[in-house]
Amino acid sequence: MNDTFIISIVTFIYFFSALTYLTSFIFGKRQLDRAALVITVMGGTIHTAAIILRWIYSYRLGIGHAPLSNFYESLVFFSWAIVIVYLIMRKRYNNSLIGAVGIFFAFLPLAYASLSGKVIADIQPLIPALQSNWLISHVISSFLAYACFAISFGSSILYFLKLKSRKTFQRILPDLDFFDDITYKMISIGFVLLTLGIITGAAWADCAWGRYWGWDPKETWSLITWLIYGAFLHARLAGGWRGVKMSAISIVGFVAVIFTYLGVNYILSGLHSYL
């Protein structure tokens, strides 16, 4: 079976799962939360299978490489990373609303990849610049970092929702501290992963371009992201900041993440033109 077809099915599974989480949250039904988890795990399993299948197909085409090499594959992997991070973090922060937002974020890149018709889904051979052992570690660490930041972005949005919403809705939302804590935890793990992503990228750049840092737009934007989240962690750990300011920095940070991922390629130009 075609892996892109499977991915379009997974897109619907995630949408359904996010919807189930939302229903569970609104009506306060724990059974629905369990059901949503089952749907998510099912979607995640099929998603994983599709990625592996694509990997196998690339070998059948004689251009075997990990499916982490073009825009389509990066969207599929980004979504996968969000699901993985969500499934890990939910052990500690179990709340249907976080599930709804997290899985909705996993749904978005897949929906764009498989339904917009603008993303080329063909398996392409690796251009010379991408033929490196650094590819896998660089992409995995970067996208896991992006996924952590996506969840922290979601919880920051929910923080403001709790803060600004009407009384009736406020009652069913968890504490502000709950969201604040998720934002912090996700950012601290994401920050380490982003650092790893930048380090593997630097090692790769040194090998491919003869310098580990060259102020290429992608490099610069990854540093901008790093600096914003670095400021967040310093404010929180050394300054004891909490709440509104933290959630605001987290949202700004995620804007930088999205720009690092997409904006650099679609608005600016540079060496990193293949994502």
Partner 1 sequence: MFKKIYNFFASLKLTIFLFLFLAATSILGTLIPQGLSPERYQELYSPRLFSIFDFFSAFDMYHSWWFTLLLVMLSANVVFCTFQRIPRIWRLTFRGNKIIDDSIFESSPIRKTIALQKNLPGIEQQSADIIKTLVATPVKDEKDGRIYLFAEKGRWSRLGMILVHLSIIFILAGGLIGTIWGFNGQMLIVEGEQSDTVTLFGDAGMKKLDFSVLCSDFTIDFYETGMPKEYRSEVTIIEGEKEPISESIRVNHPLKHGGIKFCQATYGIAGVKNFQIVAKNITTKDESILQLNMMKKVRLPESDTFFAIAKFSPDYEGRGPAVLGVVIEPDKPHDIFWIFGDDGKINNQKEGNFTFMLKDFEKIYYTGIQVSRDPGVPLVWFGFLTILAGFILSLFLTHRKMWIRISENENGGEIKIAATTSGNRKDFEKNLERLLPVSGAE
The residue (of 66 and 199) whose beta carbon lies closer to partner 1 is 199
Residue 262, interface with partner 1 (CB under 8 A)?
no
The residue (of 48 and 188) whose beta carbon lies closer to partner 1 is 188
Q: For the residues of 8-39, what is the DSSP string, one character each?
A: HHHHHHHHHHHHHHHHHHHHT-HHHHHHHHHH
Residue 63, interface with partner 1 (CB under 8 A)?
yes
Q: Which one among 36, 83, 108, 256 touches partner 1, defined by CB under 8 A?
A: 256
Shortest distance in whole angstroms from residue 34 CB to partner 1 = 24
Residue that is written with structure tokens 């991922």 in the block: 261
Residue 82, interface with partner 1 (CB under 8 A)?
no
Stretch that binds partner 1, among 27-35, 36-44, 99-107, 210-218 (CB under 8 A): 210-218
Shortest distance in whole angstroms from residue 138 CB to partner 1 = 12
Distant-in-sequence, close-in-space partners of 235: CB < 8 Å, separation ≥ 6: 241, 245, 246, 249
Residue 206, interface with partner 1 (CB under 8 A)?
yes
The H-or-E segment that residue 164 falls in is helix 134-164
Closest CA to 103 of 125, 124, 128, 81: 81
Shortest distance in whole angstroms from residue 20 CB to partner 1 = 29
Binding-site size, partner 1 (CB under 8 A): 44
**Token output for 35:** 């059901």
- Integer Cα distance of 219 and 65 in angstroms: 24
**Count H helices, E strands: the chain?**
10, 0
Shortest distance in whole angstroms from residue 148 CB to partner 1 = 12
Shortest distance in whole angstroms from residue 115 CB to partner 1 = 25
- Integer Cα distance of 126 and 20 in angstroms: 39
Residue 57, interface with partner 1 (CB under 8 A)?
no
- Integer Cα distance of 251 and 79 in angstroms: 19
Helix-, strand-, coil-residue percentages of the chain, each rounded to 5: 75, 0, 25
Query: What is the x/- site pattern for partner 1, positions 230-249, by CB under 8 A?
Result: xx--xx--xx----------
Q: Which residues bind partner 1 (CB under 8 A)?
A: 63, 124-125, 127-129, 131-132, 177, 181, 188-189, 192, 195-196, 199, 202-204, 206-213, 215, 217, 220-221, 223-224, 227-228, 230-231, 234-235, 238-239, 256, 264, 268
